Amino acid sequence: MMSVSALLFGMAITTMWRLVAGAKEIPASRFAKPPLGEQAIAGLETALGLGCMGMSEFYGISDNKENIKVLNRALELGCNFWDTADMYGVGMNEVLLSNVLRTRRNDIFLATKFANVRGNDGAFLGVNGKPEYVKRACDMSLMRLGVDVIDLYYQHRVDPTVPIEDTWGAMKELVQAGKVRYLGISEAGPKTIRRAHAVHPITAGQYEYSLWTRDVEDAVIPTCRELGIGFVPYSPLGRGFLTGQYKEWGGALGRKRGEGGARGGRGGAAAISSPGDRRGNFPRFEGDNLDTNAKWLEKIEKKPKLTTVLPRNSRSRGFWLKVKTCCRFPARARFTVWKRISPR
């Protein structure tokens, strides 16, 4: 029996689609309290999480003044589930959140992550799940965030060189020490989930999940459901692609617009890339791949639609209804987007 009321994943997708597409205002009641596994989660008041990664890196040049406006607007609307990681902006994303946390800590359910190691220059140095690193990473995150406890602490990626039991043994000790309240894991396979869960209950698993990323439906989601683990999808709009704003850059049009530029010859990727936006390096956003994906999206958009935004076809509806135990994180949202949500 669920400890809190269930909210369908389809509602999440519909909500975020409307936000990005600029549809009519959405009442703040859409940010209803979500389930997160079968555990009652103290302090979690929203069904729509705010993914903060893009405020510091990966999706273009950021503006911290604007980012702080987004953070405060999210709280005004009751969206208090914030997600960051120590690797985002090489720690600077956590520092950004500290600007709001110092006065609103009790209003925020705070999630951060460890394991992806980066150098001071931003270089990716690998994954570390060693117990001593787990504890050191947590202390550093607490310092950057300016808080005494982290609500939800994820293992961001699994270190294949360290037994998961050793990593989770150290994470369990963080809970016992009062530095962390709940534990989560990201992008782990079903067997690893079970092994970690045997050491300490997993509160949430975070995975990419959208209309074009559905591999988790085969085994990960059933495992989470069986064990009562909350499922937290990230990039539910396919890193922005499912909004339709990039499909015009596919094929000949994208190649034509990409010609002659600094990255000429890369077609759509050249056209959609801006300084600091790494999506241009993703295969799905490159040249012919982008063209093929754009045609796929157009087919979906031509299907009969619901009164909201997404298609009515049975395939999509099946996708909507498959996960009842979840929250979701949109990619970076600008202040102008958040202003479209009615505070009613």
Give long-range contacts, CB 8 A cutoff, 24+ apart: 308-315: 308/14, 308/17, 308/18, 309/14, 309/17, 309/18, 309/21, 309/23, 310/10, 310/13, 310/14, 310/17
User: Each residue of 299-334: pLDDT tens digit?
Assistant: 877 775 543 444 344 333 333 333 334 455 554 444
- The domains located in the chain, with CATH, are 9-241+314-342 (3.20.20.100), 249-301 (no CATH)
Q: What's the pTM value of the predicted model, to 2 decimals?
A: 0.76
d(CA 67, CA 74): 11
d(CA 294, CA 221): 27
Of 59, 88, 182, 234, the catalytic one is 88
Give the pLDDT confidence score for residue 279 in this predicted structure.
78
Give the pLDDT confidence score for residue 282 in this predicted structure.
81
User: Each residue of 75-130: pLDDT tens digit?
Assistant: 988 888 999 999 999 999 999 999 999 999 999 999 999 999 999 999 999 999 99
Residue 48 structure tokens: 């729509």
Give the pLDDT confidence score for residue 195 in this predicted structure.
98
Please say if 234 is a catalytic residue. Answer: no
Give the pLDDT confidence score for residue 259 in this predicted structure.
41
| Maximum mean pLDDT: which of 45-59, 126-140, 246-260 | 126-140
**Size of the chain, expressed as the number of residues it contains:** 344
Give the pLDDT confidence score for residue 304 in this predicted structure.
59
Give the pLDDT confidence score for residue 38 in this predicted structure.
57
Residue 65 has pLDDT above 80, yes or no: yes
Give the pLDDT confidence score for residue 300 in this predicted structure.
78
Give the pLDDT confidence score for residue 256 in this predicted structure.
38
Tell me the pairing of strands 124-127 and 26-27: unpaired
d(CA 95, CA 335): 19
